Structure 1
Amino acid sequence: MELSDAWRLPGFTELEQLGEGTFGRVVLARQDNTGHIVAIKYLFSRFAAEPAYLDAFRQEALALHRVVSPHVVKLYEFFETPQGAAIVMEAINGVSLRSVLQAEGALEPEAALAVLKGSLLGLAAAHSVNVVHRDYKPANVLVADTGESKLVDFGTAVLAGEQGPSVGTPAYMAPEQWAGGQATPATDVYAATCVFFQCVAGHRPYEADQTEVLRTLHEHAPIPFGEVPQPVHQIVASGMAKDPSKRPVDALTFVGELERVARAGYGEDWERKGWSRLAKATGVLAAATPLVLLGAGTAAAPGVAAAGTGAAAASTGGIAAGLKIAIGVVAATAAVAGSVIVFSDASTPPPQPPPTTQQAVALKVAMKDRSGTVPGTTLQFRGQYPEVTGGPDQAWSKRVNDALTAPIDAWNRETGPSAGKMAAEHGGGPYVLTTKADVRMQNEKYLSVSYEHGLDNAPHPTWNFGRSSVLIDLTSGTAVVPADLFSAGMFSDQGMLTLSDRLWPDHNQGCALTEWKPIKPADLAGPGERKVFPAFTPAEVELTIDFNRLGFETACGVQTMKLPYDKLSDLLKPELVAGLTGGKTVKGTTSSAPPAQGLTDVSAGALTVHLPKDWTVVSQGLEKVLVAPGCPDPKKYFNCKYVLVTDNTQQSAEQPPYRPGGFYRRSAGGRACNAAGRKDLRQEGDAVRAASATASVGEATATYEEWTIQCVPRGQTGGSGETQVTQRIWFVADRQVVVMDEWRTPGVEDLLRTATVS
């Protein structure tokens, strides 16, 4: 480095150099008079004398100054001095998305969607002030340890509509960007979708060694949406449309589409699950790099390509790249002799200094594993649980973590002897008792965790399948017992009857051929076997109910019912609700409008069928059975014409989800051939797709298929049978709703045409 390039802002002590590129360097520094840590991004002084380079650097600072969002790294100060220019920025604990992908290869869809949403909100903030980023890529997305993603590096940003040079990273450049066309928010949407594709597929959408070949692919090659999971086909197809007018108009619009697709494909809690899974991928990286260097190409003059950055020159004048940046932490205000402060963000107060050793340390929750041998047996177990650290004292920490590991011990204790006996009698295996934990909510007051228990290699998927839950009061460090969840007098038979009525207003508990059975206090607290397990999120209470333990049919399985807090405000303790929601009023989002006169609304996920009064609805596990008129006994509908509708996001061990591209089973034991009059035969023989098309379900488009399936004796798989059935299947992919008919039931098309898809 030339001596003239080693200039420093007075008032800061340089701690570490985090990166150096062709045009500048980034250092981690401490502000001398406050002790705050900052990241300072310097433009080399030899380029500060060049108007094009200095203007590009100034424009980056101006873009950061204009864009204010929790999903965009903060600018605190921009300085120009006779020696050069510098930007002082925020720092976040976390890792770049590029580092995550290098370590993981690919992410689960929920995790990729969660990262995309946060950084899209950063883009939306930019678009709202008419700024287009033009270089969205994994290196420019920071995955923070606070469970959010942030957008960084506006070195190539321009105002929307500006022509500008052909600047960007080739792997993610939109067709209009290659052609040197106008920069629009849709240009950023294209790049963000390319990054999302890479997160899920494990590789970039188009790959080539030569720049011109890569340009041709982006401009003319088919969109490879078939290489990502089906629920997100629509996201990739719309976001990577060749014509920018066919893409979402801006990032905020794209976020709306993402939310809808994510909920339909991965459930209402997709974002929580995504960040939970992402935390596991980023944990080791973040621990190794508490303040993270993010490499990104910025601040190049038009038509200049940076050496060593991997950017290739394009025929339109080159692809700018260059300065590596780092994100540092804290606001700085320095009196620099001879400097001109072009602008600063006076609206952002300097953060407080880091906590001293005497100050309270925030609690941390990390997923841990336990394994070993179940006491008194030779059976192995493998359990997952959240461990809390950072508590006020050892006694508090022991109480909390003992409560969080107790479900593993209880499952091993209750199931170990019978599992060991089964292993001795039936052979097979190896049998391993398992426990998986899922943190449903964590704030400064409460920690809510759900547990799923199972047995690896069990003879049947429902054998000893169980659930449990724990709510920790983080103030006292104790588990909240079920009786303490409810207001005075509500933890009683009458109170639980009220709760049951709100879960099932029509007294239909979602299982066929059963009688109405309200929940009892003992179902939540014992004595004896518990059957209902409450868990809590910031928006709602989740009641996981083991219908098998309640005495219902095996097919009923384990189901989770959800109620927003406003539906339970008179049952739960007010102080509990306030602590769970932060004192906010949380209302349900479902419509309470009554159905049209003479119709009954039947819902399965996003699909609502408006059922005429001469039809009957029966719940069969996770399916809704719509029984056609004329059935002598609609409750025992096996020899009547009926249609099945189901929310494909829901599943159980007994009823696995529908798999697109195959016939409809929705039963671990196979479906009987009722439609062929052979309840003794199973739909496990050869299956051939006889038709494939599209059809309308409400205002949505569904794939429509017909399958001819051979009916064979129980235990036989494949081959021909004595008879066959024909299945008709409608699948609304972006809402994960399935409709199946084996009877050529009259009126089905009319029901689907008038249905509502939310």
Structure 2
Amino acid sequence: MNNWSLPGYAELKVLGEGGFGRVVLARTDSTGVPVAIKYLFERHLADPVRLTEFRREAAVLHRVVSPYVARLYDFVETPSGAAIVMEAVPGVSLRSVLAADGMLEPEAALAVLKGSLLGLAAAHVAGIVHRDYKPDNVLVGPGRESKLVDFGLAVLAGQVGAPAGTPAYMAPEQWAGQPATEATDVYAATCVFFQCVTGRRPFAGRTTDELRAQHQYAPAPLAAAPDTVRALIARGMAKHPAQRPETASAFVTELEAAARRGYGPDWEQRGRDRLAARAAVLFAASPIAVLAAAGVTTGGTVGTASTASTAAAVGKGVWAVVGSKVIAGAIGAAVVVGSVTTAVVLGNRADIAEGGGSPHDERPSIEQVALSSSVETRTESFGTFRLDARYARISGHTDRGVQDRVNAMLMAPVDEWVEFTRQIVSGPEPNGELPATWVDAEILHQDANVISVAYERAIQSVQAGNRAGYNVRIVSIDLTTGEPLDAAHAFADAARDPVAAAELERRILARVPGGYYCPDAVLGTQAPMRPEHLAEPHTFGENPAVQVGYLPDGVRFTIFAPAFGYANVCGYQDVTVPYAEVADLMTDQAARAVIGGPRPTR
């Protein structure tokens, strides 16, 4: 249980509990405005997986503004606890409505779909894909409106990540681990709409594997839907994202046209009336309605325009915690295995909300998030091979743009290897098993100014032959600018001038007098270091023959020995040179990042 409570709020009722923590209905001490607070269990405060997911959810919600999504007030994290404070939405979940009535009239289904699609549209404008649109995450309010909630699985549009979502509504590209796009949400919304008008989900697979195959390959069961909406369902459930409406906003336009053709110009009024009638009985028994009737919320009112939030009140029953999501196991997961935890208050978004500010009279202070790095796990199946990868990621940067650039560069070695593997393998091994491609990541060093990560990559398949083997990629980045600090950038003179390259090699070899030697190699004459060794690709993944990483006490040069005349068996050789011996050969930018000042002179 979580014993910590957020100061300034009086808890009124527990709305539900789940694996992450609990959701409570509360009232602000200063104004009496009802809010829903999502607390992380205390046992998860030391779990970097849960903390990262919790922070990410709040950060995503921070970006969306719409009256069709539940409102985010604050996200607070301290050594004692973590909480998301959100609008206490009066309403019941679409899942509850369907459980009570089985299905909806087409006009009512179109009305609820339109409202939640407008919530998705606001997220899409902000560059966010929800990834978990389902009946649990759509709330139907007493004023006949519908709101979208729970952005716990949301990602930036185009982001490649582990497949995640609820199997009954996941788009084909989600199953395949491809980038999430706005059309991914359109597919899920159409699946829910199909369920509303037919009383059943589009596909009835009994296992995850059966659902995967049906969503990826089986045609949409259009015959079960009313004639007037079949074309709309066919568009929204197209197997390829490019064949669907590009965004939720575009889908709303098509929905309205289909509704007018099939049900007349007043379709929405009739649909919302029927929807409200179905939800009224369920809403009357909900906690917020009961508490309002008792006069608990007289100190203030709930805002209607908002910043987006996670759902507090969805799922089984009237106010219940969101149900389970498929994030691990056969589908894949992103798991943090190490990170630094610090106290943080993101602050509210009263300055951008259309209809009001914080539920408090005063605005909370904003504290800085400490920069941290972590190694996360990405496991996916691509049909012809499976991926087991670890990659580095940073969080807490003061500049979101820099953080996004850094994380894109830290993910690139994994995406590159996936593309390379596609070129090498074409299906199962002779024993029937899928080939495996793997990537491992080691954070060599990270401080406020620089991060260096060593990636090891390989394909485990007889189809690879001698073309894949083993590959090393070093990613080094200036964290103040988001610019690379690879060999070509850090030692720019050596990457342009043969004389400077020779001088750099002299200082490296001073640490390994025997040369880039390995015992099993048949040595010829060692080739000299040339600018292209630092600046031009030599192996797959745009890797030059000389790569650099940064350790607390010096530069680690990773040398691909075969580029210098050694046998292939020599592979990669690491040579660490203290900063004092090579800092004068660096650019000023690199010196400032790794030694904290301008480069010295000799």
Q: What TM-score do the two structures reach when normalised by structure 2?
A: 0.52
Q: CA–CA distance in 1 between the matches of 2:166 and 2:29?
A: 38
- Report the CA distance between 1:81 and its aligned residue: 0.8
Change (3 A) 1:261 1:154: same
Q: CA–CA distance in 1 between the matches of 2:327 and 2:59?
A: 27
1:100 matched to which residue of 2? Answer: 97
1:268 matched to which residue of 2? Answer: 265
Change (3 A) 1:144 1:154: same
Q: Which secondary structure does the structure 1 equivalent of 2:261 belong to? A: helix
- Report the CA distance between 1:255 and its aligned residue: 0.4
Map of 1:721-736 to 2, 5 A cutoff? none
Contact 2:75-2:345 within 8 A present in 1 as well: yes
Map of 1:547-562 to 2, 5 A cutoff? none
Q: CA–CA distance in 2 between the matches of 1:216 and 1:237?
A: 18
Q: Which secondary structure does the structure 2 equivalent of 1:153 belong to? A: coil
1:725 matched to which residue of 2? Answer: none
- Report the CA distance between 1:145 and its aligned residue: 1.1
Change (3 A) 1:283 1:36: same
Query: Which fold has the larger relative contact order, with Cα–Cα distance below 8 Å and residues 6 or more apart in sequence?
Result: 2
Contact 1:17-1:28 within 8 A present in 2 as well: yes
1:294 has 2:309 as partner:
no
1:232 has 2:229 as partner:
yes
2:324 matched to which residue of 1? Answer: 309
2:130 matched to which residue of 1? Answer: 133
Amino acid at match of 1:269: D
Give 2:110's match in structure 1, choosing from 99, 113, 116.
Answer: 113
- Report the CA distance between 1:280 and its aligned residue: 1.5
1:280 matched to which residue of 2? Answer: 277
1:250 has 2:265 as partner:
no
- Report the CA distance between 1:51 and its aligned residue: 2.4
Deviations 1:280-331 (A, max 9, x none): 111100111153863469xxxxxxxx998385855231599xxxxxxxxxxx
Change (3 A) 1:55 1:339: closer
Deviations 1:71-122 (A, max 9, x none): 0111011111111211110122211100000001000000000000000000
1:165 has 2:162 as partner:
yes
Q: CA–CA distance in 2 between the matches of 1:166 and 1:77?
A: 28
Q: Which secondary structure does the structure 2 equivalent of 1:117 belong to? A: helix
Contact 2:93-2:135 within 8 A present in 1 as well: yes
1:145 has 2:142 as partner:
yes
1:124 matched to which residue of 2? Answer: 121
1:19 has 2:16 as partner:
yes
What count of residue pairs does the alignment treat as equivalent? 325
Contact 1:211-1:313 within 8 A present in 2 as well: no
Q: Which secondary structure does the structure 1 equivalent of 2:88 belong to? A: coil
Change (3 A) 1:282 1:54: same
- Report the CA distance between 1:153 and its aligned residue: 0.5
Change (3 A) 1:212 1:319: farther
Q: CA–CA distance in 2 between the matches of 1:317 and 1:352?
A: 39
Q: CA–CA distance in 1 between the matches of 2:359 and 2:31?
A: 9
2:432 matched to which residue of 1? Answer: none
Q: Which secondary structure does the structure 2 equivalent of 1:294 belong to? A: coil
Amino acid at match of 1:294: A
Deviations 1:445-499 (A, max 9, x none): xxxxxxxxxxxxxxxxxxxxxxxxxxxxxxxxxxxxxxxxxxxxxxxxxxxxxxx
2:347 matched to which residue of 1? Answer: 343
1:155 matched to which residue of 2? Answer: 152
Deviations 1:625-647 (A, max 9, x none): xxxxxxxxxxxxxxxxxxxxxxx
Change (3 A) 1:155 1:181: same
- Report the CA distance between 1:49 and its aligned residue: 2.2
Deviations 1:513-544 (A, max 9, x none): xxxxxxxxxxxxxxxxxxxxxxxxxxxxxxxx
Change (3 A) 1:307 1:103: closer
1:626 matched to which residue of 2? Answer: none
Deviations 1:699-737 (A, max 9, x none): xxxxxxxxxxxxxxxxxxxxxxxxxxxxxxxxxxxxxxx
Greater fraction of residues in helix? 2
Amino acid at match of 1:309: S
Q: CA–CA distance in 2 between the matches of 1:185 and 1:173?
A: 13
Amino acid at match of 1:113: L
Which runs of no fewer than 5 residues in structure 1 stay unpaired? 298-305, 321-337, 354-758
Q: Which secondary structure does the structure 2 equivalent of 1:344 belong to? A: coil
Q: CA–CA distance in 1 between the matches of 2:329 and 2:271?
A: 37
Q: Which secondary structure does the structure 1 equivalent of 2:147 belong to? A: strand
Q: CA–CA distance in 1 between the matches of 2:128 and 2:323?
A: 28
1:214 matched to which residue of 2? Answer: 211
Amino acid at match of 1:315: A
2:598 matched to which residue of 1? Answer: none
Q: CA–CA distance in 2 between the matches of 1:141 and 1:350?
A: 24
Deviations 1:130-185 (A, max 9, x none): 00000000000011111211000000000001111111000000011011110000
Contact 2:38-2:85 within 8 A present in 1 as well: yes
Q: Which secondary structure does the structure 2 equivalent of 1:77 belong to? A: strand
Q: CA–CA distance in 1 between the matches of 2:110 and 2:323?
A: 31
Amino acid at match of 1:345: R
Q: Which secondary structure does the structure 2 equivalent of 1:29 belong to? A: strand
Give 1:74's match in structure 2, choosing from 53, 59, 71.
Answer: 71
Give 1:36's match in structure 2, choosing from 33, 37, 62.
Answer: 33
Q: CA–CA distance in 2 between the matches of 1:120 and 1:307?
A: 19
Q: Which secondary structure does the structure 2 equivalent of 1:135 belong to? A: coil
Q: Which secondary structure does the structure 1 equivalent of 2:168 belong to? A: helix
Contact 1:94-1:290 within 8 A present in 2 as well: no
Amino acid at match of 1:51: P
Change (3 A) 1:351 1:198: same
Deviations 1:360-413 (A, max 9, x none): xxxxxxxxxxxxxxxxxxxxxxxxxxxxxxxxxxxxxxxxxxxxxxxxxxxxxx
Q: CA–CA distance in 2 between the matches of 1:210 and 1:47?
A: 30
Residue range with higher mean Cα deviation, 26-35 or 160-169: 26-35
Which runs of no fewer than 5 residues in structure 2 stay unpaired? 290-311, 336-341, 361-602
1:61 has 2:64 as partner:
no
Q: Which secondary structure does the structure 1 equivalent of 2:330 belong to? A: coil
Contact 2:37-2:86 within 8 A present in 1 as well: yes
Q: Which secondary structure does the structure 2 equivalent of 1:197 belong to? A: helix
Q: CA–CA distance in 2 between the matches of 1:50 and 1:62?
A: 18
Amino acid at match of 2:331: T
Change (3 A) 1:184 1:204: same
Q: CA–CA distance in 2 between the matches of 1:124 and 1:290?
A: 29
1:179 has 2:210 as partner:
no
Greater fraction of residues in strand? 1
Q: What TM-score do the two structures reach when normalised by structure 1?
A: 0.41
Q: Which secondary structure does the structure 2 equivalent of 1:112 belong to? A: helix
- Report the CA distance between 1:207 and its aligned residue: 1.0
Q: Greater Rg, structure 1 or structure 2?
A: 1
Q: CA–CA distance in 1 between the matches of 2:57 and 2:34?
A: 21
Amino acid at match of 1:183: A
1:624 matched to which residue of 2? Answer: none
Give 1:203's match in structure 2, choosing from 200, 204, 227.
Answer: 200
Change (3 A) 1:195 1:308: closer
- Report the CA distance between 1:339 and its aligned residue: 6.0
Map of 1:536-575 to 2, 5 A cutoff? none
Contact 1:169-1:319 within 8 A present in 2 as well: no
Amino acid at match of 1:203: R
Q: CA–CA distance in 1 between the matches of 2:13 and 2:85?
A: 15
2:4 matched to which residue of 1? Answer: 7
- Report the CA distance between 1:58 and its aligned residue: 1.2
Amino acid at match of 2:236: G
Q: Which secondary structure does the structure 2 equivalent of 1:343 belong to? A: coil
Change (3 A) 1:266 1:314: farther
Q: CA–CA distance in 1 between the matches of 2:358 and 2:74?
A: 14
Contact 2:348-2:358 within 8 A present in 1 as well: no
